[in-house]
Amino acid sequence: MTELVEHYGWETLSEFVNINCLQYDPSINSCLKFLRKTPWAREKIKKVYMAMLKGKANEK
Question: Helix and strand tally (H, E) in the chain?
Answer: 5, 0
Predicted local distance difference test score (pLDDT) of residue 60: 64
Largest CA distance in the chain: 35
CATH class of the domain at 2-59:
mainly alpha
| Per-residue model confidence (pLDDT) at position 57 | 82
Residue 3: what pLDDT? Answer: 94
Phi and psi at residue 3, in whole multiples of 5°?
-60, -40
User: Each residue of 3-13: b (16+ CB within 10 Å) or e?
Assistant: ebbeeeebeeb
Q: How far apart are CA 17 and CA 44, in angstroms?
A: 7
Kindly give the confidence (pLDDT) of every residue in the chain, 60 residues in length, as a single tens digit, with 9 standing for 90 and above: 999 999 999 999 999 999 999 999 999 999 999 999 999 999 999 999 999 999 888 876
